[in-house]
Structure 1
Amino acid sequence: MDVTVIFTLLLICSLTEAQLQQQPDPNSNSYLKPAGSHVEAGNPSEHQQTCTQDINAVLREMSASLAGLKVEVKYLQKENEAKTRELELLKQQDQAKEKELELQKRELDKLKQQDQAHEGELITIKASANITKNQVEALRREGEVKQVAFSASLMDSGYGDVGPFNAKTTLVFRRVVTNIGNAYNPNTGFFIAPVRGVYHFVFHIHGHGHASHPTGAVLFKNGERTFVAYEYQPSHFASTANSITLLLEVGDVVFLRQWENTRIYDSDSHHTTFSGHLIFTM
């Protein structure tokens, strides 16, 4: 029941009361009762009481409805507040999730950068490893080249004299004892420098004493004459020796030539020898 019904009831009660007030007093002289008529006059207080009771009933019903509405409103308010708090909590959780997601994204970006850095480092390490490998290989080859030494005697077997000759003749030391690096050729008597560096050479020359034929040899670097070993006596055995240190370029040739009109002796005792070795590279 709404407010319109209440106003309608109030209006009806007001009109009824006004009609009752306009009716003539039955105790008054002016009230004439026609003959033969039968009229019953109602009690105004009874009508007013009935109207008041209806209004009170409506008011009680309205009060009860209003109380129920208030309770429902409070319940809805509480529910709304709970929903609001829940929504706020969800918002906070969502913000926390967003922050966590952003943190994870930054962490992922950081990991990607680290991964890229590691890839770069790996490439650098691989390149360094390749360089190191090449360096090791170069050092190994250089080490092999640096190991240069030889020693040989004039005759491979037997004994006897070599010479005399009318011109300087290359001596070929055929019995090779040591030839590390294979820089000495026992077929030509040439030592060919495999690497630029400083080399040391020693040569010993032995011969029979003779009045007409001394003993001697000269060491050549390429076509240049360097040091000489020479001995002369008319009888008995005679020996001479010399040594030299040379800076050689790759491909330089070092060899011994017998001096003209000389004799050189050798046997299985290896009296006449030619030796050399690399001291250090340059």
Structure 2
Amino acid sequence: LLSSVSVKQVAFSASLLAAGSGTVGPFNTHTPLVFRRVVSNIGNAYNPHTGFFIAPVRGAYHFEFYIGAHGHGAHPTGAVLIKNGEHIFIAYEHQNSHFGSSANGATLLLEVGDVVFLRQWVNSRIFDNENHHSTFSGHLLFTM
């Protein structure tokens, strides 16, 4: 039987820059990343102004993120998945030249109101352009 409670459908994908080409960072502290070009935001749980995903229902959610950068001797490329201030997983790479990328993902049990976002690693650079190398996506697998 179907319950009277409607099951929330939640999924989003966004890339770093709203338009054009550029590098974000480096910054001298860990800095929240705001993915501004939203290609889907079903359920409106992702905020493209803050970069925060706020869980609308209790459940298992899957997140994945990809970051790209042009190699630089002094600046790596790195982003950390953060849940309620807790460091979960990092995507990190460092090379002196050429284009490089890194990725990671996690499935998390979230309570209503839990906040998930990406934080740029201190002293790192992240590149994006019209090919959308740097992305952040997530979706609700199932409610609990």
TM category (shorter chain) comes to over 0.9
Structure (1/2) with the larger helix percentage: 1
> Which one of the candidate residues 112, 118, 140 is aligned to 1:250?
112
Task: State the AA in 2 paired with 1:205.
Answer: I
- TM-score when normalising by structure 1: 0.50
Following TM superposition, by how much is the alpha carbon of 1:277 offset from its aligned partner in structure 2, in angstroms? Answer: 0.3
Structure 2 alignment gaps of length 5 or more: none
Following TM superposition, by how much is the alpha carbon of 1:272 offset from its aligned partner in structure 2, in angstroms? Answer: 0.1
Q: Provide the residue aligned with 1:208 in structure 2.
A: 70
Following TM superposition, by how much is the alpha carbon of 1:182 offset from its aligned partner in structure 2, in angstroms? Answer: 0.4
1:193 aligns with 2:55: yes
> In percent, how many aligned pairs have the same letter?
70
1:57-105 CA-to-partner distances (Å, cap 9, x unmatched) read xxxxxxxxxxxxxxxxxxxxxxxxxxxxxxxxxxxxxxxxxxxxxxxxx
After superposition, residues 1-282 of structure 1 pair within 5 angstroms as 138-139=4-5, 142-143=6-7, 145=8, 147-282=9-144
CA distance in 2, matches of 1:169, 1:223: 12
Task: State the AA in 2 paired with 1:172.
Answer: V
Q: Which structure ranks higher in relative contact order (CA pairs < 8 Å, sequence separation ≥ 6)?
A: 2
Q: Provide the residue aligned with 1:62 in structure 2.
A: none
Q: Provide the residue aligned with 1:38 in structure 2.
A: none
- TM-score when normalising by structure 2: 0.97
Following TM superposition, by how much is the alpha carbon of 1:202 offset from its aligned partner in structure 2, in angstroms? Answer: 0.2
Q: After TM superposition, which residue ranges in structure 1, 4 or more long, deviate above 4 angstroms?
A: none
**Once superposed, what is the RMSD of the aligned Cα atoms?**
1.2
Task: State the AA in 2 paired with 1:151.
Answer: S
Q: Provide the residue aligned with 1:95 in structure 2.
A: none
Following TM superposition, by how much is the alpha carbon of 1:250 offset from its aligned partner in structure 2, in angstroms? Answer: 0.3
Structure 1 alignment gaps of length 5 or more: 1-131
Q: Which has the larger radius of gyration?
A: 1
CA distance in 2, matches of 1:214, 1:251: 32
CA distance in 2, matches of 1:149, 1:254: 13
CA distance in 2, matches of 1:160, 1:187: 18
Structure (1/2) with the larger strand percentage: 2
